[in-house]
Amino acid sequence: MERHRTDVVVVGSGPGGATLARQLARAGRRVLLLERGRDWRRSPLYGTYPGALLYADKHALLFTREGLNIVRPLMLGGATSMYCGCSAPPASWWRERWGIDLEGHAREAAAELGVAPLPPELRGEASTRLAQAGTALGMDWQPQDKFMSPGRTGPFDCGARCMLGCRCGAKWNAAEYVDDAVAAGAGLLTGARVERVLVQDGVARGVRGRIGRRELEVEAGTVVVAAGGIGTPVLLRNSGLAAAGQGMAMDTTAMVYGLSPEGGIGQDPPMTWSAPDDDLGVLYSTLIDPWLMYPIVMAVKGPAYPFTWPRWGRTLGVMIKLTDELSGEVDERGGVSKGLTAADRERLRAAEEVAGRILRQAGCRPDSILTTPLRGTHPSATVRIGDMLGTDLQTEVRGLYVCDASVFPRALGRPTVLTIIALARRLAQQLLAAATPGQDTATPVLGAPARA
Ligand SMILES: Cc1cc2nc3c(=O)[nH]c(=O)nc-3n(C[C@H](O)[C@H](O)[C@H](O)COP(=O)(O)OP(=O)(O)OC[C@H]3O[C@@H](n4cnc5c(N)ncnc54)[C@H](O)[C@@H]3O)c2cc1C
């Protein structure tokens, strides 16, 4: 049994866990961050197809019982290792409905990370043509804010494969905040899978799990679970909080493709333009699956569809992201049930029609237009504020907090990461304010939290 003792133990290194660990460590708190995956950033496989199959849960073949494919990266940095780098400010309902003011935290983080749209010449010629077609139909297409700084570490080289992991270094990844946390003194254990929270008399005492073949126990006065929209409810259910994982949101996504004589968007950075329709509850954007993922995704649609693969280079894609209703569940073994409700289905049909019109306006052949199978990249709202959490993100167990996409009270229908970072900055501020001098100064059992 490997044992540690610390002030705050954080489970999961996605944007929620990484931000919290960084903010607390920089303020001098003793933090230990536990991540079940490994750091792939310096591996030659990072950002490649074999790499993506290794670090995505179930080799990217994770499906809900209803057949929706979930992309769930398990690695340092969490899903920001494979995200599209899009940013959106927190919705106004956080403040209006819940009294949670995230705007200042989001503004600070966005300024620090240089969030902005890509410059016009890097938005992709075909993607820009698609956005112009949408604009010609009266829609409000705008350049999409990005967590990307082209040329930061080398030449900018971004296409659809950017979603396998960023190889050119332009895209910010939460693993960078983990680096900052470690530089500020936080401990980090990778390959450390937490199985349950230790609770005594209604108070969190630490966590238990495994690191490789060894058992792992961490004693801590504050436990923050940030294992993502699926990992967090699994962990809480196995710790006796049975309501976790009842209902979830996914911002369920489909792409509508069309064959364009003028060339496709596969070499463009993903999602450089977008257009929200808040009345319908849909976000449209420019997106196509990476080259080798295309036939795999199409095989799920039906046996004839992979034969459209040769068109990939001339395909335009309109992404539809639905602000879906809460439904389904995550069970204690990580099995997920999530489909679309009747209302979601109806909105999806309406959005498909809009996407089809945009593609025809952009010159695509009407008989080439088709919709991909559904997928989910934003598992969220599984341990919701208002149901299981106070607005301080604390559970019914004192000292046990949640800080990731699980806490959303509903689907965002927008990029999630900036909102999660803002929630984590706010929680860090709250924990620091609550810490009385002299408290939480426990000494380590096996020395200071060790770096893996
Ligand atoms: C392909 C793709 C594209 C996306 N594009 C965008 C985008 O452009 N913009 C945007 O804002 N969002 C995007 N997202 C969504 C966004 O990345 C996620 O919503 C966000 O990363 C969720 O953050 P999180 O902190 O909740 O959890 P995660 O990022 O999922 O991190 C959770 C971490 O916890 C670890 N973990 C899980 N269980 C355990 C355990 N038991 N013990 C220890 N560690 C554990 C996991 O390995 C993981 O590293 C995209 C997602 C994907 C997959």
pLDDT digit string, tens, across residues 68-83: 999 999 999 999 999 9
Per-residue model confidence (pLDDT) at position 435:
79
Q: Is the pTM of this model over 0.75?
A: yes
Q: What is the sign, positive or negative, of the torsion defined by CA atoms of 36, 40, 43, 46?
A: positive
Does any ligand 1 atom lie closer than 6 A to the CB of residue 233?
no
Indicate if ligand 1 lies below 6 Å from the C-beta of 115. Answer: no
Among 9, 22, 36, say which to mutate for ligand 1: greatest number of ligand atoms within 8 Å of CB.
Answer: 36
Q: Is any ligand 1 atom within 6 A of the Cβ of residue 194?
A: yes
Give helix 103-113 / helix 417-434 axis angle, nearest 10°. Answer: 110
The residue nearest atom 27 of ligand 1, judged by CA position, is 228
In SS3 terms, 397-431 reads as CECEEECCHHHCCCCCCCCCHHHHHHHHHHHHHHH
**Residues 284, 354 contacting (CB under 8 angstroms):** yes
By C-alpha distance, which of 431, 436, 422, 435 is closest to 392?
Answer: 431
CB 286 within 8 A of CB 143: no
pLDDT of residue 437: 54
Asked if 220 contacts 5 with a C-beta cutoff of 8 angstroms, the reply is yes
With a CB cutoff of 8 Å and minimum separation 6, the contacts of 427 are 20, 224, 392, 393, 401, 403
Stretches in the chain below the pLDDT threshold 50: 438-452
Nearest CA to 79 out of 208, 146, 165 is that of: 165
Task: Give the whole-number percent of the chain exceeding pLDDT 90.
Answer: 94
Asked whether 290 lines ligand 1 (CB < 6 A), one says no
423/72 Cα distance (integer angstroms): 21
Q: For residue 232, give the ligand 1 atom closest to its CA.
A: 38
Structure confidence by residue, pLDDT tens digits, 402-425: 999 999 999 999 999 999 999 999
Q: Extract the tokens encoding 92.
A: 């106004």
Distance from the CA of 79 to the center of ligand 1, in angstroms? 3
Distance CA 35, CA 163 (A): 21
Ligand 1 atom 48: residue of nearest CA: 78
* Gyration radius from the chain CA atoms: 21
Amino acid present at 339: G
Is the CB of 377 inside a 6 Å radius of any atom of ligand 1?
A: yes
Which structural domains are found in the chain, ordered by start?
1-114+161-245+379-452 (3.50.50.60), 118-148+253-323+340-373 (3.30.410)
Q: At 424, list the tokens.
A: 């984590």
* CB 86 near ligand 1, within 6 Å: yes
| CA of 192, closest atom in ligand 1 | 43
Output the pLDDT for position 10: 98
Distance 228 CA to ligand 1 centre (A): 6
pLDDT at 151: 87
